[in-house]
């Protein structure tokens, strides 16, 4: 477990930049809710029913065509920063293996503490229904303490995923449309409970012709019940990153 003494405190309105972030003007960050009993760093999720995820456009990709490590901002519906996220992978795997590459991803709060961690092993997407080829993303919050996984299901028609808790039980399901690639419109993936009731959705938002054609920087939103356990909310956010790399990185 992360100890309190390891949790750094810096001014709320001036968080240090994430690795590789050269932005000069600080953006507003969401205040930490108090009185919540949950893993440290997930307190923000107790009062949210929607998250907005935007991927940073990498100038290196535009100039050279080489795939750079992904970086994201996660905001609430008011436009306040909740988390920042960045991928840890090497240049060779990103450009040789593409969406099948293994990677780690760190999700940071406004104090630049890593609040949860994602691990995705290499998966060969050419043989998608072999158990060893199905995509899986392990989520730890705090880092080192697994809270669950996002796992791809074998299907030839539409994208499907299950979200499992730390005991391996299926707690949520995600089902996408027959074609997850749409032009000039948003793409919705529905989130279902174990009782097959739709409780939310993950939306890949159409970001404009230029951004879609010439970059792999995408916009997403994810909605869920306010009362949903924060660990499940964190797993749904993690699912956004896996879906982005699997279907929208090009």
pLDDT computed for residue 126 by the predictor: 54
Which range has the worst mean pLDDT, 122-131, 134-143, 154-163, 177-186?
Answer: 122-131
Domains and CATH numbers, the chain: 11-247 (2.40.160.200)
Over range 200-221, report the average pLDDT. Answer: 71
Contact present, 223 and 49 (Cβ < 8 Å):
yes
Identify the band that residue 4 occupies on the pLDDT scale cut at 50, 70 and 90. very low
Tokens standing for residue 88: 């840890």
pLDDT at 206 over 60: yes
- What radius of gyration, in Å, describes the C-alpha atoms of the chain? 17
| Rounded-to-integer distance, Cα 250 and Cα 248, Å | 6
Query: What proportion of the chain, given as a percentage, has pLDDT over 90?
Result: 52
Question: Do the Cβ atoms of 42 and 230 come closer than 8 Å?
Answer: yes
Q: What's the mean pLDDT when you consider all of the chain?
A: 82
| Paired tokens of 93 | 């795997």
- pLDDT value of residue 195: 95
Angle of CA points 92, 156, 124, to nearest 5°? 20
Question: Which stretch, 54-58, 120-124, 165-169, 216-220, has highest mean pLDDT?
Answer: 165-169
Query: Does residue 146 surpass a pLDDT of 70?
Result: yes
Q: How far is CA 116 from the centre of its chain?
A: 11
SS3 content of the chain, % helix, strand, coil (to 5): 20, 30, 50
Spell 197-229 as b/e; 16+ CB within 10 A means b: eebbbbbbbbbeeeebeebbbbbbbbbbeeebb
Which among 234, 165, 159, 163 is positioned nearest to 204, based on CA atoms? 159
CA distance 146 to 180: 29
Q: Residue 34: phi, psi to the nearest 5?
A: -110, 160
DSSP state of 135: -
Query: Tokens 């158990």 — which residue?
Result: 131
The token pair that represents 224 in the structure block? 């869920």
**Nearest alpha carbon to residue 138 among 104, 175, 96:** 104
Q: What is the pLDDT of residue 6?
A: 40
**Model pLDDT for residues 172-198, shown as the tens digit of each residue:** 999 998 877 666 678 999 999 999 999
Backbone angles phi, psi at 121, to 5 degrees: -75, 165
């Amino acid at each position: 477990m992360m100890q309190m003494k390891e949790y750094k405190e810096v001014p709320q309105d001036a968080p240090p930049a994430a690795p590789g972030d050269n932005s000069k003007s600080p953006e507003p960050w969401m205040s930490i809710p108090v009185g919540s009993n949950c893993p440290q760093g997930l307190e923000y999720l107790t009062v949210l029913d929607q998250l907005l995820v935007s991927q940073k456009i990498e100038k290196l990709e535009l100039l050279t065509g080489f795939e750079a490590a992904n970086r994201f901002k996660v905001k609430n519906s008011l436009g306040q920063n909740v988390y920042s996220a960045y991928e840890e992978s090497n240049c060779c795997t990103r450009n040789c293996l593409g969406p099948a590459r293994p990677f780690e991803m760190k999700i940071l709060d406004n104090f630049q503490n890593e609040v949860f961690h994602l691990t995705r092993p290499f998966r060969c997407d050419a043989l998608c229904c072999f158990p060893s080829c199905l995509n899986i993303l392990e989520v730890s919050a705090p880092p080192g303490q697994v809270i669950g996984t996002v796992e791809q299901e074998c299907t030839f028609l539409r994208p499907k995923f299950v979200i499992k808790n730390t005991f391996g039980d299926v707690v949520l399901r995600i089902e996408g449309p027959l074609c997850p690639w749409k032009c000039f419109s948003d793409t919705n993936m529905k989130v279902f409970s174990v009782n097959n009731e739709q409780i939310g959705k993950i939306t890949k938002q159409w970001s404009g012709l230029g951004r879609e054609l010439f970059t792999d920087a995408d916009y997403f939103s994810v909605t869920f019940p306010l009362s949903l356990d924060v660990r499940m909310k964190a797993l749904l956010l993690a699912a956004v990153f896996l879906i982005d790399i699997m279907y929208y990185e090009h």
